[in-house]
Amino acid sequence: MNYLFPTYQRWEVEPVSAKGAYITGTDGKEYLDFTSGIGVCNLGHCPSQVEEAVISQMKKFWHVSNLFPQGIQQRAAKLLAEAAGLDLVFFANSGAEANEAALKLARKATGRQKIISFTKSFHGRTFGSMAATGQDKIKKGFGQMLETFIHLPFNDSEALLNEIGDDTAAVILEVIQGEGGINIAEPEFLETVQKACQEKGALLIIDEIQTGAGRTGKPFAFQHFNLQPDIITVAKGIGNGFPIGAVIGKAELGEAFGPGSHGSTFGGNPIAVAAAEATMETIFNDAFLQEVSALGEYLTAQAEKTLGALETVVEIRGLGLMIGIEVDGNVPDILSDLRSNGFIALPAGESVIRLLPPLNIKQSEIDQALAFLADSLKKLTRTAI
């Protein structure tokens, strides 16, 4: 019996419970989860400090609407703004909603229409965020897209300089394309984008929905580069599993988002915000983030050592605990084989196995994950011969 639209090709594992990096299935088996709910449960499944914050808020109030001032929203917004080096926050319920708000804000603040984005990007599946996305498979069958968006090749400075002009409202990009295949932006390209935006008066929007919340060893991935974005968007890992997204922007954009200009009934819901506050209090901490970087370096080095020489492995790349293993093989088949052995990972792009473990993963769990991967990838080589 199925009552759900078949928008997802669902896996064969049905969870009954989850804790830390493990999911227990209805089959009674334990699975090592290197997806974190697609980069969401960055502190692992059901961390106690988030549970306590949510329960505590549930005993106060659940929802009152954004017509009321709510101290908890101000506290969470301060954490986000200070971590990003920006000033003002708008709370949404998802990544796509955060991007929609950012795109609207950029158009209103600049009075311009055109928005530049890049091939292989992913910005969401709503009408505007889908049009911003640089992948045909996301848009196929949905007819004409919004004319606002121009897609340029990623990491191509010349194409950007040829296109950007006085009519450009914004450039939107991920510094590491997540869904598109763990494609890392080149520092020189980002510098060109930054400079061109400043020269032409276009806003720079960094989509940190997958790369934010400590995933790369900094609060936000743009902080690895010499960038001063006007707006960043976040979601996924910010609430460790509770639905929340946010636009974080410079103070001077405040005027364009005055009373009545934008809104959301559920945006900034106090339960989700309580989860986000507890999550960010843990993650936006130097010692915690240094450990994420160290674990990322360990994972990359060990992956290189145990998998790098395999015939099927083309490249291992990433930053912090956002790792892609590009393979010469059928990724869905490999992932299915891994699941049957007890390990869960994600695809990215056409040929990449994407690892997004919890940020507090144990070294022993990384070792275990690499053993699963080595096992499946070696098997693939044997059958291919």
Ligand X SMILES: *Cc1c(COP(=O)(O)O)cnc(C)c1O
Minimum Å gap between C-beta 63 and ligand X is: 20
Write out the two tokens for 177: 């394309």
Alpha carbon distance 86, 174 (integer Å): 18
Q: Which of 18, 48, 86 is nearest to 234 (CA)?
A: 86
Residue of this chain nearest to ligand X (CB atom)? 95
Closest to ligand X by CB, 174 or 365: 174
Closest to ligand X by CB, 44 or 124: 124
Closest to ligand X by CB, 125 or 200: 125
Minimum Å gap between C-beta 302 and ligand X is: 25
Minimum Å gap between C-beta 208 and ligand X is: 8
Summarize as ranges the residues that interact with ligand X (CB under 6 A).
94-96, 99, 122-124, 174, 178-179, 207, 209-210, 235-236
Minimum Å gap between C-beta 99 and ligand X is: 6
Closest to ligand X by CB, 244 or 278: 244
Closest to ligand X by CB, 122 or 222: 122
Minimum Å gap between C-beta 199 and ligand X is: 26
Minimum Å gap between C-beta 123 and ligand X is: 5
Alpha carbon distance 25, 20 (integer Å): 14
Closest to ligand X by CB, 20 or 95: 95
Minimum Å gap between C-beta 236 and ligand X is: 6
Closest to ligand X by CB, 33 or 174: 174
